[in-house]
């Protein structure tokens, strides 16, 4: 799908992407009668090369494409390697220093941290910090997790467009991550506040949270409503705690403050990583 979107990227200016994504989500969640269901799920798994050996259940136990796509994994297949880990099966596509409120989207393309997080204090909060961008392709496991011990203090759902987040869009759509819909988690950590952002994309039917069923993205494709929810008491997370699910693929961006002792030069930039691996480790396939 990524290669098709790269080729057809310019045509997406004329396509109602939010409606298309909502319809895709509805179709993916549709239960199918047997044996048609088995044929559809196996075709889907084969097309996207899903690793069913790691899946929690046999393929015939899943009710729909969405049910299979958002599958949980067997216990123990993603061991948590320490106190600071990668949050998702993905590719670490970007690492950037945060200076003067600017984040790096791609070579020569930037976006503003205040607009991205919808917080006028973000520039000051993250000055001198580091942002890590993780791209999830359709093959990947699509539940995302906490990178460290943290407490969730607030979640902010920000409606927006649903451009793809593939290479073409990242290189051609200014302010892409600030335009697309997203869910911002505000995390209290030992280093200060961390912003953890799940960014929606074309054909991401919705984003759901693991600890709060009230916040769901893209429920209404025409008139979405922003949501802000504060948690008191806060919600405790351990490294590797499940946080949310992409119902079809997308991107996670984590913004760390200056106080986080992150050695950017040691990070596996451009390489595949797995949830739970030590943050300085890339996954050897």
Instruction: Tally the C-alpha atoms within 13 A of residue 68's C-alpha that lie toward its C-beta.
Output: 30
Helix ranges (H only) for the chain are 2-8, 17-28, 36-47, 65-69, 113-117, 122-126, 167-172, 176-179
Q: pLDDT of 161-219, one tens digit each? A: 877 777 878 888 889 999 999 999 999 999 999 999 999 887 655 899 999 999 887 66
- Rounded CA-CA distance 272/285 in Å is 8
What pLDDT was estimated at residue 16? 46
What pLDDT was estimated at residue 6? 54
Which residue's entry shows tokens 């995302």?
144
What predicted TM-score, i.e. pTM, was given to this entire model?
Answer: 0.89
- Rounded CA-CA distance 49/36 in Å is 20
Which residues neighbour 33 within 8 Å (Cβ) at sequence distance 6 or greater? none
CB-neighbour burial class of residue 193 (10 A; exposed 0-12, middle 13-18, buried 19+) = buried
- Rounded CA-CA distance 103/123 in Å is 10
The answer to whether 249 and 201 are in contact (CB under 8 A) is yes
Per-residue pLDDT band for 25 (boundaries 50, 70, 90) equals: low
What pLDDT was estimated at residue 249? 67
Greater confidence (26 vs 126) lies with 126
Report percent pLDDT > 90 for the chain: 66
Which residues are known catalytic residues?
89, 145, 250
What pLDDT was estimated at residue 23? 52
Greater confidence (92 vs 48) lies with 92
What pLDDT was estimated at residue 30? 63
What pLDDT was estimated at residue 8? 54
| Other beta carbons less than 10 A from residue 212's beta carbon | 14
β-pair partners for 180: 161
Q: pLDDT of 34-90, one tens digit each? A: 778 888 899 989 988 999 999 999 999 999 888 999 999 999 999 999 999 999 999
- Rounded CA-CA distance 175/10 in Å is 16
Compute the average pLDDT of residues 123-131: 98
Q: How far apart are the first and last CA of the chain?
A: 21
Q: pLDDT of 229-281, one tens digit each? A: 999 999 999 999 999 999 876 899 999 999 999 999 999 999 999 999 999 98
Compute the average pLDDT of residues 125-153: 96
What pLDDT was estimated at residue 9? 55
pLDDT tops 90 at residue 1? no
What are the structure tokens assigned to 271, written together? 């390489």
């Amino acid at each position: 799908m990524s290669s098709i979107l790269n080729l057809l990227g310019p045509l997406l200016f004329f396509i109602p992407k939010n409606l298309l994504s909502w319809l895709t989500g509805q179709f993916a969640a549709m239960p199918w009668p047997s044996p048609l269901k088995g044929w559809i799920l196996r075709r889907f798994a084969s097309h996207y090369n899903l690793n069913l050996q790691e899946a929690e259940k046999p393929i015939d136990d899943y009710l729909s494409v969405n049910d299979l796509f958002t599958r949980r994994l067997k216990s123990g297949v993603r061991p948590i390697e320490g106190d600071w880990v990668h949050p998702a099966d993905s590719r670490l596509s970007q690492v950037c220093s945060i200076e003067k409120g600017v984040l790096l989207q791609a070579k020569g393309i930037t976006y503003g941290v205040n607009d991205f997080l919808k917080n006028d204090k973000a520039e000051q909060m993250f000055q001198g910090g580091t942002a890590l961008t993780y791209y999830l392709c359709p093959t990947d496991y699509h539940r995302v997790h906490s990178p460290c011990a943290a407490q969730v203090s607030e979640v902010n759902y920000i409606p927006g467009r649903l451009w793809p987040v593939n290479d073409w869009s990242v290189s051609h759509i200014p302010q892409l991550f600030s335009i697309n819909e997203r869910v911002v988690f505000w995390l209290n950590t030992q280093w200060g506040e961390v912003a953890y952002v799940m960014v929606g994309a074309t054909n991401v039917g919705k984003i759901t949270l693991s600890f709060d069923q009230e916040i769901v993205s893209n429920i209404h494709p025409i008139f979405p409503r922003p949501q802000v929810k504060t948690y008191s008491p806060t919600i405790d997370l351990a490294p590797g705690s499940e946080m949310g699910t992409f119902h079809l693929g997308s991107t996670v961006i984590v913004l760390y403050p200056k106080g986080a002792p992150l050695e950017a030069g040691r990070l596996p930039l451009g390489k595949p990583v797995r949830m739970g691996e030590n943050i300085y480790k890339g996954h050897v396939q």
